């Protein structure tokens, strides 16, 4: 964290309320997701302007596969389309794209688009945008535990050698710092299987605004609220 300006180094967003936004307008749910793309652009602009280094977006959870097939398909299509269409602008802005989550269940086409966007934006130095896709924290921790157990079974690691760093290093987020600020829109106050390990010392902000209505000003308000928080990390002042 930049302590002078109190800018969070890593902001993570649970983009919630697309469905409610759509039903309030008698629209289909996928139209709510489509309206959720502009707030992603606005958040990226605000994050770059504010000097945030990492922005994680919860785009599709492992639980989201349980939604109607049409919604799942249109959401995947929208994500693919956004990643492809936005890549040149992201390159221009110095934004690097990365993903977390279990990739194997994503279609070949989605994986190819993501790999291409990651490769094309690899040189971005201003902001890293981490898209959580087919992600859930319990799934991530389970996969990490399997990897660590594999090392123990292979004899390259003893149980006593397992530290918090071993676990953090086996998670999808191994190369990223923990989030400083987690925003969830739509007034819901829960984490829903998002960054459970990484959120240990995060600040939380739950604005009422539905995700499709989220603006650059809303992002700025979240940063202002964060700057007022007193973070002690279990210590005393």
Q: CA 22, 28, 33, 34: dihedral to nearest 10 degrees?
A: -100
Could you tell me which of 220, 139, 215, 234 has the C-alpha nearest to residue 181? 220
Please check whether residue 9 is in contact with residue 1, taking contact to mean a CB–CB distance below 8 angstroms.
yes
The residue from 43, 50, 62, 82 that contacts ligand FPP (CB under 6 A) is 82
By Cβ distance, which residue is nearest to ligand FPP?
19
78 binds ligand FPP (CB under 6 A): yes
15 binds ligand FPP (CB under 6 A): yes
27 binds ligand FPP (CB under 6 A): no
Q: How far is the CB of 168 from ligand FPP (least distance, A)?
A: 24
The residue from 8, 12, 16, 148 that contacts ligand FPP (CB under 6 A) is 16
Q: Using the rule CB under 6 A, give the single segment among 46-54, 56-64, 108-116, 167-175 that binds ligand FPP.
A: 56-64
Give me the DSSP letters along the chain: -BTTTTB-SEEEEE---HHHHHHHTT--HHHHHHTTHHHHHHHHHHHHHHT--EEEEEEEEGGGGGS-HHHHHHHHHHHHHHHHHHHHHHHHHTEEEEEES-GGGS-HHHHHHHHHHHHHTTT--SEEEEEEEEE-HHHHHHHHHHHHHHHHHTTSS-GGG--HHHHHHHSTTTTSPPPSEEEE-TT----SSSSTTTTTT-EEE--SS-GGG--HHHHHHHHHHHHH----TT---
59 binds ligand FPP (CB under 6 A): yes
37 binds ligand FPP (CB under 6 A): yes
72 binds ligand FPP (CB under 6 A): no
Could you tell me which of 13, 85, 89 has the C-alpha nearest to residue 47? 13
127 binds ligand FPP (CB under 6 A): no
Residue with smaller CB distance to ligand FPP, 19 or 124: 19
Residue with smaller CB distance to ligand FPP, 72 or 196: 72
Q: How far is the CB of 205 from ligand FPP (least distance, A)?
A: 17
Residue with smaller CB distance to ligand FPP, 166 or 215: 215
Interface with ligand FPP: number of residues (CB under 6 A)? 19
For this structure, is 64 an active site residue? yes
79 binds ligand FPP (CB under 6 A): yes
The residue ranges that bind ligand FPP (CB under 6 A) are 15-20, 33, 36-37, 40, 57, 59, 64, 75, 78-79, 82, 131, 211
Catalytic residues: 16, 64
């Amino acid at each position: 964290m930049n302590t002078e300006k109190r800018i969070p180094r890593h902001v993570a967003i649970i983009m919630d309320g697309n469905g409610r936004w759509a039903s309030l307008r008698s629209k289909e749910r996928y139209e709510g997701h489509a309206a959720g793309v502009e707030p992603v652009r606005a958040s990226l602009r605000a994050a770059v302007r504010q000097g945030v280094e990492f922005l994680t977006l919860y785009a599709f959870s492992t639980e989201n596969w349980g939604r109607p097939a049409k919604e799942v398909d249109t959401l995947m299509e929208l994500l693919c389309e956004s990643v492809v269409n936005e890549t040149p602008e992201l390159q221009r802005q110095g934004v690097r794209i990365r993903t977390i989550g279990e990739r194997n269940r994503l279609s070949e086409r989605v994986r190819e688009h993501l790999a291409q966007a990651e490769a094309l934006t690899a040189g971005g130095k201003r902001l890293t945008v981490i898209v959580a896709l087919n992600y859930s924290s319990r799934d991530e921790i389970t996969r990490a535990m399997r990897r660590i157990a594999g090392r123990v079974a292979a004899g390259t690691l003893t149980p006593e050698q397992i530290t918090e760093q071993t676990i953090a290093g086996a998670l999808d987020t191994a190369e990223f710092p923990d989030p400083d600020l987690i925003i969830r829109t739509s007034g819901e106050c829960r984490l829903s299987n998002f960054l459970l390990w990484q959120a240990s010392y995060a600040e939380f902000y739950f604005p009422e605004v539905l995700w499709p209505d989220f603006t650059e000003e809303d992002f700025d308000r979240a940063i202002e609220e964060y700057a007022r928080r007193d973070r002690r990390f279990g210590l005393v002042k």
